[in-house]
Structure 1
């Protein structure tokens, strides 16, 4: 199971969902399965959550489930898996866009002004090969 740390400067909106059931999944899944996020609140393991990411795509909306929630100093690090193949594939693509936007913002703080296409080209060259594969 591979999770990608979602960049904190690209806000996620997370809402609990109580009427969603998922198929059982095994812990030996290989490849990209979800994301991690620093949350101000704890979530119960197994809790279904709806994720939106308005800054990257206003139409993006998927539902996943909390796999673990670790209490840290001032926050909770949560891992959200996406057991449905289509949702998982969609999240992986959106997450790459989020990583590229985060890279563009980091470059800006270093005095480099990159448009999105320039940032994407650099990010792909530097990081795409190590981004977890989608293998469900």
Structure 2
């Protein structure tokens, strides 16, 4: 069941720090029952969050840090005691920005893995070029159904 639930979500790389906090206006989203057609990401969190909880994610991959607000679509326990939390973003502009920043995160993770595994030091541009050739075709599109 968990794989069906998490299918289609962009998995945020664990090696790229992301901070999660409750939104100042922590309102449960009335629309979290159906996430079809919305972009979603999943990430490891220390805390359990109820479905519909409004959260803010902050990713400090660039300066200034990227921030976006979304709602919890699902939250499931992981073996390490943390939770795999799925966030969805209702606003198309926010969804687009989240998808772009997640691509940057995945490219940075790729750059770090190449340095560790192969000893090659890639510039951000070279890493982006290689990542696009190898992985961009599998990266979820904005119009992908993220939950059915």
Q: TM-score, normalised by structure 1?
A: 0.89
Residues 35 and 79 in structure 1, CA contact (< 8 A), matched pair in contact too: yes
1:47 partnered with 2:47: no
Query: Deviation string for 1:65-94 (max 9, x for gaps)?
Result: 111000122210000011111110110010
Aligned partner of residue 56 in structure 1, secondary structure: coil
1:123 aligns with 2:102: no
Unaligned runs of 5+ in 2: 1-6
Where do 5+ consecutive residues of structure 1 fail to align?
none
- Please identify which structure carries the higher strand content: 1
2:15 corresponds to which residue?
A: 9
1:59 is displaced (CA, Å) by 4.0
Partner residue of 2:115 out of 108, 114, 117: 108
Once the two structures are superposed, the pairs formed by residues 25-64 of structure 1 within 5 Å of their partners are 27=34, 29-30=36-37, 33-64=39-70
Give the number of aligned pairs: 135
TM-score normalised per structure 2: 0.82
